[in-house]
Amino acid sequence: MIYVNQGQYNTPIATCSRNKQLSNPYYLWTIRHKLSNQSWQFIPYREQSITSYPPSYDIFQLDILLNQPEVYIGSNVITCNLHLLSGEFYVKIYEQTSSSNLNPSLSYDVVYEGMMVVLSEDPIEEIEYTGTTNTWVVYQG
């Protein structure tokens, strides 16, 4: 499970390098929101490993800043920025040789599959019940 926050710079972690077949691939992320069914395809910048062997996980750079323009392809200079809804997402990460392809059908293979949770910038407060009734008035006309 990957956790990221709205309104800030994030470093999501996924185990992609352990499953790759290509040498030096780019990783295409495809995510789909569970409730709205909206989807995004993007290539975030992957921080380079300092070890000579494949790392046990990969660290990516991802911004979720709603007041900045969306950027679908990240680099070491420009961070990938998306306008993601809060909630749960289905995630598939593909390996590919292209640094600009956003079409998963043109990618090589799936290297990671799982869930991602985007935590809201303004969390909803829990409803507190104050006493003897369990009736909640939604509309009083």
Helix (H), strand (E) at residue 72: none
User: Which residues lie closer than 8 Å to 14 by C-beta, 6 or more apart?
Assistant: 2, 27, 57, 58, 60, 91, 93, 112, 114
Each of the 141 residues of the chain gets a pLDDT tens digit; together they read: 999 999 999 999 999 988 888 888 999 999 999 999 999 999 999 988 777 776 788 999 999 998 999 999 999 889 999 999 999 999 999 999 999 999 999 999 999 999 999 998 776 666 676 666 666 667 776
Give the distance, in angstroms, between the CA of residue 117 and the centroid of all CA atoms in the same chain: 8
User: Which residues lie closer than 8 Å to 128 by C-beta, 6 or more apart?
Assistant: none
The pTM (predicted TM-score) of the whole model is 0.82
The domains located in the chain, with CATH, are 2-119 (2.60.40)
